[in-house]
Structure 1
């Protein structure tokens, strides 16, 4: 996210599992060439999006 949201856009759906601990796992580190490949597929930022001020 490049700018703060102008409101609360959370969906508020789903269940909350208080006993479930979230985890994050790295499978591997991308090589520089592979990183550039994925970055090349990204679209440029849109200046007139609905979330902007």
Structure 2
């Protein structure tokens, strides 16, 4: 789970690459059993999480 940003933490380097288009590629879809195995490895959120609201 990703938390919403609590401020502007961007690098602000001012570099723009006009000819580099960001892409997202889906390699495969996980089977339900495989998804359960991966999610079992994820730790639950802790109450003192500094990024939580």
Output the TM-score relative to the length of structure 1. Answer: 0.71
CA RMSD of aligned residues (A): 1.8
User: Does 2:20 align with 1:24?
Assistant: no
Output the TM-score relative to the length of structure 2. Answer: 0.71
Q: Which runs of 5+ in 1 are unaligned?
A: none
Count matched residues. Answer: 51
Question: Equivalents in 2 of 1:40, 1:22: separation in Å?
Answer: 31
